[in-house]
Structure formats: C-alpha cells, structure tokens
Structure 1
C-alpha cells in the first residue's frame, strides 16, 4: 500500500540490493530483536519452564490440558493413521469433532517428534514460548518492511504487538491465540499480491498460508481477513492512491482467485467437518454478551502487569485468560495524541494508510464491546453494532472481546510510527521530551508479569507403567475419578501422555472440549456446550470432587450407574492419590473415594491408584 517518506519504499518489492554495511546492520538489529523477544517470552513462561511436568497454568489448567491432549493426539495420528479432525478417544460413545474445536493440527504434526521424546508438557511450553517471541519478531519484520525505517521503532512496535496485555492474558492456556505471528505474515502476503508478474506465485503462497494457519488459529485468521479486507477497501478509496489502485486491481484479483482455489482445496475436508461433520454444533457454548469487552477495561490495567503489583490491576475481564484490552489510560491518551501528530506530518499517501489503520482500529474497538454496552461490570440497555452480526455464520462462533486483539495491533503500529517521528526529529522540540517520557509512562505499567502456575497431580505409575492394560480390553474405556472436565482434567492429560508414548491406547468418557448438546439417545445435535452432556453418574463424582458433597445412594442411583456404565462401555475406574483443580482449587478426594466405595464397593490397590473393575450387567455394589 502507499507509504510516504520516511517509510520504506511504497513498492511491493524491496530494493534489489542493499549495501553490505546496511545488510550487516539489519542482521544485527534482527538478531537483537529476536533475542530480546525470546528472552521476554521465556520470562513470561518461566513458571512452566521450571518444572513443565508438575507445573500447570493455575488460571486455566483446563485449556492447557486440552492442548496437551492435542499434542499427544498428533503422535497418535501419525502412528495410527487417525483422522486429525475427528476422534473417538474422548466423549465415548459419540467422539469429538476436532475441526469444530481448535485442532492446531500443523503444530501437533510438526512437534510430534518432540512430543514423543519429551512429552506433551514440554511441547506445550515450547510452542507457547515460541508463539510469543515469534509474534513480536514477525511484527518487527513487518513494520520494518512496510511502515518504518528505524529498527528501534519497528522493535518497539513489534514487542508491543507480541506482548500486549491481551496476548499475555491468552498465554494462560491458548496456543491458538498466542500465535499472533499469523496476522503480520498473512497481511504481508496480502500486500504483496499487487506485485506485477507474480500473481500466480503470490496467490499460491497465500492459499497455502490460509490452509495451514486455519488449523492453528481459525478465529484469529478470520479476524485477520476482516481487518485486511477493511484496510484495503478504505485505503483504496483515498484519492491520493487512485492511480496505484487502478494499476494493481487486476493483478490482485487474479492472485486472490488463485489463493481461494488453493485454500479451498486444502480446507475442503476440515471445513466440511467444521460445518457438517459429526458432532458439529452452532455457537460455542459461551455467552457472547458475557464474553464482550467492558468499555472501562480499555482504561484499566491487566492483572499480570507491573501496575497490578501496586494494586492497580483490574477484574473487569470475564476471566484472567480473556483480558484482551486493558491498555490503561496513559496508553489510550498516548495513542490518540500520536495519531494526531503523525497525521499532521504525513504526506497524502501516508495519510491514506493512516486513515485505513484508524478505521480498522475504531471498528474493531466498537465491535469488541459486544451486542450491548458494558461499563464497570454492568450491562447497560445500549445496543451496539455487534448485535447485528451475532447470529451470522462465523460471527456466531466468535467471542466479541477477542476483537480487541486487532486493536492491540493498531496500537503497536501507532507506537512504531510515533517513535519513527521522534527519531526523525519531526516533532517540535517542546513536545519531543514530553512525548518520549509519555511512551515510557504508558508502557511501563503494562509490562507483563510471568503467568501464574501451580502444582498439578503427577501422572500415576498405574498409567505411566502401562498397568492399566490389565484392566481394559484393546481400545477399551477406562476413566479416572472424577471424570475429565475443564475444572478437573487430569484424566484427559494422562490419556495425552499415553498417546505421546505410542503403543496401546484407551478411550475415556467425557473430557474437556466443545461439542453439541445431545438430545436423547438419538444423538440429535444442537447448540454448542463445554464438554459432554452430563449424566447422573459423572455428575455424582464431579459434585463430590468440587463441593465435597456426599449423598446416601439408593438402588435407583445404582441402577442409573449401571445404565451409564453400559452407555460408556466402561470397563474400569481408578482414583489417583492426588487430583488437581484449576486456580489453586482444592478438590475433595476423600469425598470422591467415599462416593465410589458406596457405589462400587471396596477398591483394589494397584500401584499408586485405587481401581474398581466394571462388569457389564452386574449391579455396582454386587460386583
């Protein structure tokens, strides 16, 4: 797109050859930014690196367990030729549509050797760290190529984009949303589509990108496509770039056509599975009015920041994983002032770019507020534009507050632009010092703290040593107690570790995933929800684990348990020495033991777990 001095050349092609000293300086700058980004990413994830096998993300153990499960499933997929987009290992007897979840298939395959050798725990923290560092570095390269000359300006903007409060928040569990590098790489390729004579090559590259990135961050890719399309349309309408648009439109359309064909071919099966395959659903199981950005959150500081150390953190997010804005008043003011200053100094072509950036940022900010306005934890009777989109395909499966991550990218671009203006001394001396101090004052309070971790239950020797195979038939069903769920996902983790080692595998009922509400035994699919539809028996154990609730069981309870066991084709249950709850939650293991013993009779002590065999057709207590 059109950019004016002092930015790099407006051409989609970089200069053919740079002087040797310039190349050397570039590589030194690249290496410096890469090392800084990696160091900061390791700092943010340091709690996991200290002991990846025993430490878990206390603010979101469930999502960490789910992604570790996917990494283990990647090894299973390669070893067994399994479908990467559907599995019957979870949620017996229905299975789980992984295409309708975040399958991260590219990651699971690429990291399968590491997962097999070191375990899903190590692969998980490795990917999380590389996501954060790679996002900052990718944005740095993008800004260096398209918008600013100075490595310092590009580095500051890139580091903000990679480590903005929203992405630190999503580092609590999400390997998809921390893959912020997807956006600059895709946008870079979109901007290259206008290269004359290269429409076929550029279209092929973009199509392959879309096919690969869909499995890593489908929702983020959707937002990137929306932002890119909006930017191009607004930019193209500017009179200053009319001749440039006229010369490029035919090339761009041909390249987009190639990209559509290539992406369509690569995504034909995953898209079919996502929208029409077994265990599909509408929506996400999450309330869009609840998972909308509170307008006051934009003015607040995040819970994992330096400001929070001094009691200035906020709780306006729905949870600690979804603090997607939380920029603070100083940064909001700085961005507004910076845009005015950059606009004043910009040539017409640069103003076309700035206008498009501001429209994208403003639009996504408003949409992130959701269907109704929220202020200071209260919903006001003020309808907002997202209400018109909420029921549309794709939007119905999105969470509005995550649109604020696009706003974070706009803020990062603005920081790079104003820093370049300062370095070029295009700001008046009377403002220069104050603006420099304002940048420090705006960024220092939101400097990130490491993600919170807690101890989690170790893998039982019963699982690690393969003793479980004596209690389950080939590909049979066994479950830890309590049954796997997002707030107590140990059983799902241990299945992941078994898959990563290769060899025989067991299946489990329930699990943490997104799936449909099942109406009756016919399996009619409907709205989305978290996990499997609960049955009486798994809820019996969940209630005991979460609340310590123990009830005197009746013959009806035992008859229901017999029916539920047959429904799951369950062959054995086991209770480990320790069970883990999220957010340092204390789970009541003794209540689970009392409930299981009342229902099933005395257990066997096997290795380091208690085991109950389940025999079909036999009353649990009379086994």
Structure 2
C-alpha cells in the first residue's frame, strides 16, 4: 500500500505484514493499547508540573496564552448555559468586544469540556486538553502509519511517538491548545485517502466535511497547512508514471466526494467563516511580524531547549521565543532523514517510490516556506527574497506565521522514520554493518530529542474578592471591573479570574483590554485594519502596565486625571482592584508597590475588601489636583 496513497491499489506495494488479518486482531489491540498508555504516560510526564498544582502553577514560558485558553474554557461554559455567541463576545475588550472566530476559539473543546470546567475549573480543563492533545497526537499518528504505511507495529509506534512529542509540539505545549492538537493532521489525511473508495463517496464526503468543521474550530491554521500539504502530495503523486492510470481512474469518485465535503463543511462553517473574514472586530494579519516569526536555517540543525540535548548544553537560542521552536531536529536527525530517504528510494517498488517522491517534495516545500520572506542563518538576516515573500500578502498566508510551517516537516520525518524502522525491524535490511549503522543512527537521532517537562512557575491565586462574589457589590449589572494592571498577555491575572467566574455560572462582569488578537485603532480607508495583540492602548492602562513592569512611577497632574476620567468612562469601569500579588512571565517579579503608588496618586486611598484593595471609580476621580 502506497504511503498515504488515496486508497489500496493493485499497483501499490503492501506493508511487510497484514494489518488487519483476523488472526492478528488480539495482538493488534494489545499493541494499540500499549502505545496509547505509553503516549499518555509521556504526556503526563511532560505536563506534570501543571498537574502538581493546576490552580497556582502556570507555564513559565507563556503565561498569557494559558490565561487566554483558560478564559475560552470559562467562556465555553458561559456559551452553553447562556446561549451566547461562541464567535463574538463583549465580555473582553469592553466596550468593543472580541472576534473569537478571528482568534483561536477551540469551540469544540470548550463545549465538550463544560462539565469539567464547571466542576473543577478552567485550570483543570486546560491541562486535561493539553495532556490529551499530546497523547492523542502520538496515538493518531501511530494508527495512521500502521494503517496506511507499515506493517510493523514497533515502527509505527516509534514514529508516532516522535510525531506527537517532536520538538515543535513540545514547544507549542507552552500554552497553545490549538497547535498541540497534532492529531488533526493524521485524522484529516486519513479521511482524504479514503475519498477514492468506490461506492462510498457520499459517506466519505460527509465524514470529511464534519472533520474539516471540527478541525477549523480547533486549529484553523494547522488545518490550512494540512490541506496545503495534502494538495501538494496528491498532485505530485498523481503525476508519477507508476500510478498515473490509477489516479485517473479514481478522479471521478474523489471529485464527487469532495463536492459533498464542500457542501457539508460550507454549511457547518458558514457563520464562523463569515465572522472570521467579515465579522465585527476582524482584522488582517496576526499582529506578529512574519519576517521575524520565521525559521532560522540553523535551527533545523539545532536542539530544542526542552530536551535531553539541552541538558547537555547543546541548545541554541534561535527561535523567536520559547513557544516557537518548531524545527530544532538536530544534525543527527537531519542526516538520518536525508540518508534514509535516499536508501529507501533505491529499495522500494515503483508505487512506493512515487509516494516517497511526493512526501519528499512536501518536505522540501515546507522547509523552504518555513524560512519566511527573508533568510536567517544564526540570527543574521540576508535581504534577498525567498519564495514566501510572494505569498505573504495572499489571503490565508497573510494570517499565517512561516515558522509554524515546519510542523508539517514533523509528519514528513515521521513517515520516513516509520518506513526506515519497518525495514530495520522486519529485517529486510539484513543483519550486518548497514543494519547496525542505521539502528545506531536512529538511536542517536531520537535520544537527544526526548522531551523534558514544561517549565512552570507560581501564579497569583484567585483572590477571595472574586471567588466569594464580593465584587458584585462594586459592579452594576453587567458592568465592568478590572484588576490592576489591566489584563494583557504579560499581566493576565484579571482575564483568568473573569474566566473562573464565568465557569461558576450566575452573575458575571466585563473587563477592559485583555489578551487576544484584534484590529488596530485606525486603518487605511477601504481596507481591513491590521491585527495587533490586545486592545488599542490608552494612556491609563499604559500608566499601570509600566508601573508594574518597570517600577516606573510619575507624579500625576490634572491632565493625567482628566485623561483617566475619559478612559474609565470609555471602558465603562465601575471599579478597579489590586490583588496581593501580580503574576509576571518567566518568573519575573512585577512591582505591586509601584502600581499601588500610581493608583493612590490617581484615585486616592483604596478600600480594603477581603484580600484586595478596591477603588470605586465614580467617586475615586475628582477634578481637584491632589
């Protein structure tokens, strides 16, 4: 059977042993169960720092994204119980609101996790989904490779675990519930390969349409990459002389199935797609510079920061940040993949060779595109344009980050690794020097990439003022309240505390600002505004942010207070409060004293309520200079 070929075919060479012969089913199920348990154990090991204390531990390398996804969990419960719009909310970024369809709303996850969110909190929902994403990705790749590629369960298991726990996905485990859903790719591709089954075009088209809708909800950008990679593969594979007739015979069935897929996916995604591209508070781009969120060429030859190799001091700091180490395969793995590809091409039948060629083309295309519009080598930028420069302004590409395209290379390497291991474990490469050398190369390539647990740090616990509902005495019905400093990716406490309130049900409050992607204040006439991180900044939230981050306190005057009155009126804020501690990012200590001094100078003395300091805004701001 050809690697990821559209269906079983007479021209395609089969795996070394049958996958589903009746006599082998008990053994197959034992293998499945073993791989599932190993994958779950590895995922628990990687995330154990959060499980140790999910309520006061946070991912040190990405406090903001964890807060955002915890907020989505809380909002998911609110959506289900209040019938709210899952793709737009005015609870964040008051009074403008946030387009959740243009963000990563993971709606399917938030709805499925509503019982856990309500009973145990968004913190538990977050770490549960993160753990199951990692384990499920490895297991899905194992099943995919076992079904479509190799007959040896050990080869599929090792390659599947590599795909699920590859450096790029461990890196994204720092807060990205969308990108750790690596299972979306093998599940969608699996169904794509079934489209050519005779007599089943309607069922297969329906199934793929539903899968695309689910995938869009969970990982829209990843789904786009999967579709792009599948298209490139199928075009290259179909053009190979060995399978051209086979591909031509299947074309009609595939087109009928794709028509059904388009209708089903279009119906399910009509509203979210409208919201994503034309809804309120939508934007162009992502708020991140594509030029710098691109792969450094040297990163492919380097080792990731959360790996055994890094413990030996072999890590290189070449990624845009700790959550974007999306390649970092290391020299041994790159050498193994190139040598393994050349070896396999010499040994396989024509049908399999056509598949290998298509897989190789996909790998090369995505490696080159991941370099972005300009080439970086060891952090030095060369100014000649690369192929991505011609794509970066096109729809969809303008909302993607090139650095993440290298995650497709994980799947390509997983396929090559499975094929190579199948040759070794099935002894088709006979025992001897070559067998020993390749076996050693596999160990040397994989061992340095064994992941380390994610880094965690302490975060400020939910104050009793919020947990006990005392805040209700200070906020009008459906009103707005904010922690100081205002919520942002680097000061996310207020946003996650709002999430916990939403998850408990009952009354809720709005907050100004927040961590999300939204449009800039102004844009060119007739054009969609560019995206940015968070709300358009105003003078007053900046006043508190720089006090917290840089311990920066200034002597305020009447102009500052007049601006604050205007800002608070714009946000509709009823009250602000200062908790006992402020969570920083990457173990950073933020200055509560500077925030307190700024707040007293601006608003006067606070009330001590439960475990926080509270300022009632309506009486806190007066026109007299203090």
Deviation at 1:341, TM superposition (A): 1.1
Of 607, 610, 615, the match for 2:613: 610
Tell me the equivalent position of 1:403. 405
Tell me the equivalent position of 2:559. 556
Deviation at 1:501, TM superposition (A): 0.3
- Partner of 1:506: helix, strand, or coil? coil
Tell me the equivalent position of 2:57. 55
Distance 1:568 1:196, change over 3 A: same
Deviation at 1:9, TM superposition (A): 7.1
Distance 1:314 1:555, change over 3 A: same
Q: Is the 8 A contact 2:603 2:620 kept in 1?
A: no
After superposition, give the CA deviation of every residue in 1:323-365 in whole Å (9 maximum; x if it has no partner). Answer: 0000000000011111111111110000010000000000000
Tell me the equivalent position of 2:263. 261
Query: What is the 5 A alignment of 1:68-87?
Result: 68-87=70-89
Distance 1:524 1:144, change over 3 A: closer
Q: Does 1:536 align with 2:550?
A: no
Query: What is the 5 A alignment of 1:117-128?
Result: 117-128=119-130
Q: Does 1:578 align with 2:591?
A: no
User: For the residues of structure 1 that align with 2:467 and 2:190, how far apart are their CA atoms?
Assistant: 46
User: For the residues of structure 2 that align with 1:339 and 1:38, how far apart are their CA atoms?
Assistant: 30
User: For the residues of structure 2 that align with 1:18 and 1:395, how far apart are their CA atoms?
Assistant: 40
Q: Which runs of 5+ in 1 are unaligned?
A: none
Q: Does 1:138 align with 2:102?
A: no
After superposition, give the CA deviation of every residue in 1:523-548 in whole Å (9 maximum; x if it has no partner). Answer: 99611000001100000000100000
Tell me the equivalent position of 1:458. 461
- Partner of 1:285: helix, strand, or coil? coil
Tell me the equivalent position of 1:23. 25
Q: Does 1:250 align with 2:248?
A: no
After superposition, give the CA deviation of every residue in 1:484-510 in whole Å (9 maximum; x if it has no partner). Answer: 000010000000000000000000000
Query: What is the 5 A alignment of 1:316-331?
Result: 316-331=318-333
- Partner of 2:618: helix, strand, or coil? coil
User: How many residues align structurally?
Assistant: 621
Q: Is the 8 A contact 1:133 1:162 kept in 2?
A: yes
Q: How much is the aligned-residue C-alpha RMSD, in angstroms?
A: 2.2
Tell me the equivalent position of 2:622. 619
Q: Does 1:190 align with 2:180?
A: no
User: For the residues of structure 2 that align with 1:214 and 1:72, how far apart are their CA atoms?
Assistant: 20
User: For the residues of structure 1 that align with 2:448 and 2:429, how far apart are their CA atoms?
Assistant: 25
Tell me the equivalent position of 1:169. 171
TM-score, normalised with respect to structure 2: 0.96
User: For the residues of structure 2 that align with 1:103 and 1:4, how far apart are their CA atoms?
Assistant: 30
Of 33, 36, 41, the match for 2:43: 41
Distance 1:3 1:405, change over 3 A: closer
Tell me the equivalent position of 1:2. 2
After superposition, give the CA deviation of every residue in 1:16-62 in whole Å (9 maximum; x if it has no partner). Answer: 99554400110010001000000000000010000000000000000
Q: Is the 8 A contact 2:485 2:541 kept in 1?
A: yes
After superposition, give the CA deviation of every residue in 1:68-100 in whole Å (9 maximum; x if it has no partner). Answer: 000000000011110000000000110000000
Q: Is the 8 A contact 2:213 2:269 kept in 1?
A: yes
After superposition, give the CA deviation of every residue in 1:467-490 in whole Å (9 maximum; x if it has no partner). Answer: 000000111000000000000100
Deviation at 1:243, TM superposition (A): 2.0
Tell me the equivalent position of 1:286. 288
Q: Does 1:277 align with 2:279?
A: yes
Q: Does 1:362 align with 2:364?
A: yes
- Partner of 1:451: helix, strand, or coil? coil
Deviation at 1:248, TM superposition (A): 0.5
Q: Does 1:592 align with 2:595?
A: yes
Tell me the equivalent position of 1:152. 154
Of 412, 415, 433, the match for 2:414: 412
Deviation at 1:249, TM superposition (A): 0.4
- Partner of 1:605: helix, strand, or coil? strand
After superposition, give the CA deviation of every residue in 1:191-243 in whole Å (9 maximum; x if it has no partner). Answer: 00000000000000000111111010000000000000110110000110122
User: For the residues of structure 2 that align with 1:179 and 1:566, how far apart are their CA atoms?
Assistant: 41
After superposition, give the CA deviation of every residue in 1:174-200 in whole Å (9 maximum; x if it has no partner). Answer: 000000000000000000000000000
- Partner of 1:153: helix, strand, or coil? helix
Tell me the equivalent position of 1:439. 442
After superposition, give the CA deviation of every residue in 1:144-180 in whole Å (9 maximum; x if it has no partner). Answer: 0001000000001100110000000000000000000
After superposition, give the CA deviation of every residue in 1:264-321 in whole Å (9 maximum; x if it has no partner). Answer: 0100000000000000100000000000000000000000000111111111000000
Tell me the equivalent position of 1:509. 512
User: For the residues of structure 2 that align with 1:576 and 1:250, how far apart are their CA atoms?
Assistant: 64
Deviation at 1:246, TM superposition (A): 1.9
After superposition, give the CA deviation of every residue in 1:398-418 in whole Å (9 maximum; x if it has no partner). Answer: 000100000011111111000
User: For the residues of structure 1 that align with 2:624 and 2:104, how far apart are their CA atoms?
Assistant: 40
- Partner of 2:586: helix, strand, or coil? coil
- Partner of 1:209: helix, strand, or coil? helix
Q: Is the 8 A contact 2:602 2:621 kept in 1?
A: no
Q: Is the 8 A contact 2:284 2:528 kept in 1?
A: no
Deviation at 1:512, TM superposition (A): 0.1
Distance 1:78 1:4, change over 3 A: closer
Deviation at 1:11, TM superposition (A): 9.5
After superposition, give the CA deviation of every residue in 1:433-485 in whole Å (9 maximum; x if it has no partner). Answer: 01101100111111100000000000000000000000001110000000000
Distance 1:389 1:463, change over 3 A: same
User: For the residues of structure 2 that align with 1:255 and 1:230, how far apart are their CA atoms?
Assistant: 19
- Partner of 2:141: helix, strand, or coil? helix
User: For the residues of structure 2 that align with 1:598 and 1:4, how far apart are their CA atoms?
Assistant: 66
User: For the residues of structure 2 that align with 1:17 and 1:351, how far apart are their CA atoms?
Assistant: 21
User: For the residues of structure 2 that align with 1:330 and 1:55, how far apart are their CA atoms?
Assistant: 35
User: For the residues of structure 2 that align with 1:273 and 1:11, how far apart are their CA atoms?
Assistant: 45
TM-score, normalised with respect to structure 1: 0.97
Tell me the equivalent position of 2:114. 112
User: For the residues of structure 2 that align with 1:413 and 1:10, how far apart are their CA atoms?
Assistant: 21
Tell me the equivalent position of 1:480. 483
User: For the residues of structure 2 that align with 1:586 and 1:218, how far apart are their CA atoms?
Assistant: 35
Distance 1:112 1:206, change over 3 A: same
- Partner of 2:54: helix, strand, or coil? coil
User: For the residues of structure 2 that align with 1:523 and 1:8, how far apart are their CA atoms?
Assistant: 51
User: For the residues of structure 1 that align with 2:231 and 2:111, how far apart are their CA atoms?
Assistant: 31
